[in-house]
Amino acid sequence: MDQLEGRVAVITGGASGMGLAFARRFAAEGMHLVLADVEAPALDAAVAELGAEGAEAFGVVTDVSDAAAMDRLRDAVLDRYGAVHVVCNNAGVSGSRAPTHELTTEEWAWCIGVNLWGVIHGHRVFSPLLIAQDEGHIVNTASMAGHTSFNGLSPYHLTKHAVVALSEVVYHELAASGSAVGISVLCPGFVNTRIAESTELPGEQAKQPLIDDEAAVAEAEAVRQMTRDFFAMQQSPEEVAEIVLDAVRTKRFYLFTADAWTDQMAERHEDIATGRNPRPRGSMIEEAFRG
Ligand SMILES: NC(=O)c1ccc[n+]([C@@H]2O[C@H](COP(=O)([O-])OP(=O)(O)OC[C@H]3O[C@@H](n4cnc5c(N)ncnc54)[C@H](O)[C@@H]3O)[C@@H](O)[C@H]2O)c1
């Protein structure tokens, strides 16, 4: 897409991290913005910040895993602007860190609901509009975890592999039909956002802390602080937003943000091609230090 000024971008997970960085970057191009997020206070703050900088933006509190809420999001966008041109299916959570055999049904459903159903609903409600007008671009946020597999976070890996696969299929469908609509799949390495804080089920489903076990509480807080310190050193969301803007303009499909995991991706492909068993892997954070 060459002409971005005055066009409409919808960004899920737009209240924070990469989604908010996309919004700021698109606003600088004169785009009109719709931010959708489940966290109302953060959404209000993001919309207020963009408005104060002169952007045309509004927020819709939306749980992307909820089909009816995504229908309402589409209706709100069309009521306000009458069209949509760029759709960033970006909302996501880390999901539970528990080993696969310990995961509860609720933990699986939460991560799959946000990371996979959110993207599916985004396609269901917005892609027909883009295809009918034969113009626009879709950006699905996956992860390097969609091209690799490490020790732990299996719901996250599962959803991100699925988002890569879905995006590839849509790419082929658009190409085969001669559509002018473009699609990219964003596969970041580690980026400095709040993502690592989304490992606990939200709201009433959250596990209660073991308040009588001071040592366990202190250890959990120490792990959280180490994780925050680790993420603070990672790539900035603003750099990722530049990559996304360029892809919308040039129709690039695979978007890799950091090369730290290219070895692990190449090794996985080699193991598959040669029929070898997967080589030993640490956690995602341990593997990042290998790069
Ligand atoms: N930060 C990283 O290192 C990294 C790496 C690879 C991929 N990603 C992916 O990038 C995307 C954006 O995450 P981020 O890193 O900016 O993290 P973030 O936590 O800063 O932003 C995610 C946003 O999604 C929102 N969200 C969560 N559940 C939602 C729901 N049910 N409905 C609507 N919104 C919801 C959150 O409120 C938050 O504003 C995610 O899909 C994530 O998996 C992040």
CB of 201 within 6 A of ligand 1: the answer is: no
Q: Are 37 and 12 in contact (CB under 8 A)?
A: yes
- The model's pTM is 0.95
To test the pocket of ligand 1, the residue of 195, 256, 259, 283 to mutate (highest count of ligand atoms within 8 Å of its CB) is: 195
Note down pLDDT in tens along the chain; length 291 residues: 989 999 999 999 999 999 999 999 999 999 999 999 999 999 999 999 999 999 999 999 999 999 999 999 999 999 999 999 999 999 999 999 999 999 999 999 999 999 999 999 999 999 999 999 999 999 999 999 999 999 999 999 999 999 999 999 999 999 999 999 999 999 999 999 998 887 788 776 665 555 567 888 888 788 788 888 888 989 999 999 999 999 999 999 999 998 778 889 999 999 999 999 999 998 888 777 765
Token digits of residue 283:
């956690």
Burial class of residue 162 (count of CB atoms within 10 Å of its CB; 0-12, 13-18, 19+): middle
Q: Which domains does the chain have, with CATH numbers?
A: 8-290 (3.40.50.720)
To test the pocket of ligand 1, the residue of 10, 11, 18 to mutate (highest count of ligand atoms within 8 Å of its CB) is: 18
Q: Is 156 a catalytic residue?
A: yes
Centre of ligand 1 to C-alpha 274, Å, is 35
Angle in degrees, 0-180, between the axes of helices 40-52 and 17-28, rounded to the nearest 10: 20
